Amino acid sequence: MDHACRCDVLILHDLGAEKVTEWSLEQLYRLVDARVRNRRELVVTTNLPYDERGFADTPLEQRPVRPNLVERYGSRITERLLHGAVVVRVVGESRRKPVPW
């Protein structure tokens, strides 16, 4: 954890795919809070929208019904994740190949 808090750049890929537990929320808070306080770069990728509104340019009927960052991680963690953030929205079809069953 110390190295993740101190390294120059940390990438958290696919945030929201992990199982959320009290322990994982505590660890994520410690990590994000330490990086924000120490002004360390943090890159986060996720399929989760910020909150229940989704994105402003998404039509209401197409807005996600799945959990969002605030619901999943709480406002305390979400606000730190977005503190000074540049949000880049990537739109398009999934590039993952379907698994042939």
Check: CB of residue 35 under 8 Å from CB of residue 12: no
Integer Cα distance of 1 and 93 in angstroms: 35
pTM: 0.76
pLDDT (0 to 100) of residue 85: 87
Question: Could you say which residues of the chain have pLDDT below 50?
Answer: none
Integer Cα distance of 64 and 1 in angstroms: 33
pLDDT in tens, 49-64: 776 555 555 666 666 5
pLDDT (0 to 100) of residue 20: 93
pLDDT (0 to 100) of residue 44: 94
Residues contacting 88, CB < 8 A, separation 6+: none
